[in-house]
Amino acid sequence: MTTLKLTKNPSETPVAKKSPVRRVDPAKRDRTVAPPKVAMPARDEKVTAQQHSEHRENFAPTASKAGQRNHRHDGTMYNSSAHGSPAKTDTDTRPTAKLYETRNENRNETPKESKPAKPHGVDTRTTPRASREEPQYRQAPRRGGKVRDGYDAETPTYGAAAKAAYQSTTTPTDQPRLSKVMAERGICSRREADEWIANGWVMVNGIITDTLGSRINPDAEIVISSYAYETQAESVTIILHKPVGYVSGQAEDGYQPAIVLVHPENQWEDDPLLHTHQPKEFERRFLHGLAPAGRLDIDSTGMLVLTQDGRIARHLIGEDSNVEKEYLVRVEGELSDADMKRLNFGLSLDGDKLKPAKVSWQNEDQLRFVLREGKKRQIRRMCEMVGLHVVGLKRVRIGSISLGKLPVGEWRYLRPEEKF
């Protein structure tokens, strides 16, 4: 039996790895030692022009770099003869010499007039300062607006600039106030107008006016926000049968105001608004802003109107109000026919002639008065002038609405179909 001994390929025989040999390059310096410091020559402050020119020549770029692109200046002195132009003089050794001379000549000219000093504390900007009271979207642009944004620098249409331009065109001496114009047009009362203006719900000629006391042209266009009409629609008017011993307005001399009687326990059980499909329930907010539209003496009884609607208040007690008010007056004394005529027309109070009244006998001891004005204690003073003494006074009607069967001390809502 023959045994063969196979030897491996020499290329496959493992060879011991050796670390690479680093040969020293004489061209490289020894980095284990710090390089020697080059001593810089001392700088002489007095350098001549010749030394400057030699320095520029030593550091001028080579010919290979002179032709490189994207270089506006190759560092060499400008040679006019090389470009086909006449040689420059010694005074024109730099390409910008003429420019410097021109600037120097301009400096020697007379200076321009200086702007006047800005006065301290005075805003001289064309755009008014932004107001903190206005929302940001209504502010005028601080550095000029865009036409596409609806801003015109000369005639602004919104923001603080528009408000200033609008106020500057008005003459506050010969124009009526905005609240008065709104009241005269029957939009609302003056008190409501002031509230709407303060809330920013009034627009005059396309500009929101929220400054109280603003004066406008009587023929100006007034647009009211829907929020104002919604608030006005939620207002209530209450008819109260005031008893004796309560004052109409604020409490005085220990007497309570009549508004203290307005609570759910005193609401009339036969109030039509309580027997509808959706009965109107009493809410505490109904007492806010509820004010009497007309006075009734403390020793008088009868119909008293309390309302939140300024239009109703102005209609009943405004300067130009012409609403009839009917009273039943119990008197003591004798009344002649001549005095009866005087009661109807012919008496004066506080130096003013009274408007014509309708006075007649209701029964043997009771008179019926129908007046179109309401001066303080007017009926009692009229009776005293003709020798009569008033024992009792009751108001039974205002306009087209009568007191009816409403018990004393109780109240009811004014129905939507009822108009004074």
Rounded alpha-carbon distances, angstroms, from residue 27 to 20, 138, 206, 268: 20, 77, 88, 119
Residue with more model confidence, 169 or 340: 340
Model confidence pLDDT, tens digit, residues 57-75 = 555 555 444 445 554 555 5
**295 and 190 fall within a common domain:** no
Mean pLDDT of 355-369: 94
Which of 216, 232, 248 delimits the end of a domain?
Answer: 232
Mean pLDDT of 281-299: 87
pLDDT for the residue 309: 86
**Domain contains 31:** no
Number of domains into which the chain is organized: 2
Mean pLDDT of 109-128: 58
- The boundaries of the domain holding residue 206 are 148-232
**Domain contains 180:** yes
Answer yes or no: is pLDDT of 410 > 90: yes
pLDDT for the residue 65: 47
**196 and 279 fall within a common domain:** no
**Domain contains 245:** yes
**405 and 257 fall within a common domain:** yes
Model confidence pLDDT, tens digit, residues 200-234 = 999 999 999 988 888 999 899 999 998 888 877 77
pLDDT for the residue 360: 95
**227 and 260 fall within a common domain:** no
CATH number, domain with residue 209: 3.10.290.10
Answer yes or no: is pLDDT of 198 > 80: yes
**Domain contains 332:** yes
**What's the chain's average pLDDT?**
76
**Domain contains 39:** no
CATH number, domain with residue 294: 3.30.2350.10
**297 and 398 fall within a common domain:** yes
Model confidence pLDDT, tens digit, residues 178-187 = 998 998 888 8
**pLDDT category of residue 250 using cuts at 50, 70 and 90:** confident
**Domain contains 303:** yes
pLDDT for the residue 35: 74
Catalytic annotation, pick one of 194, 297, 309, 339: 297
**271 and 369 fall within a common domain:** yes
**Domain contains 175:** yes
**Domain contains 375:** yes
pLDDT for the residue 274: 83
Mean pLDDT of 326-331: 96
Answer yes or no: is pLDDT of 54 > 80: no
Which of 232, 254, 280 delimits the end of a domain?
Answer: 232
| 297 is an active site residue | yes
**225 and 289 fall within a common domain:** no
pTM of the model: 0.53
Residue with more model confidence, 249 or 409: 409
Residue with more model confidence, 310 or 328: 328
**pLDDT category of residue 34 using cuts at 50, 70 and 90:** confident
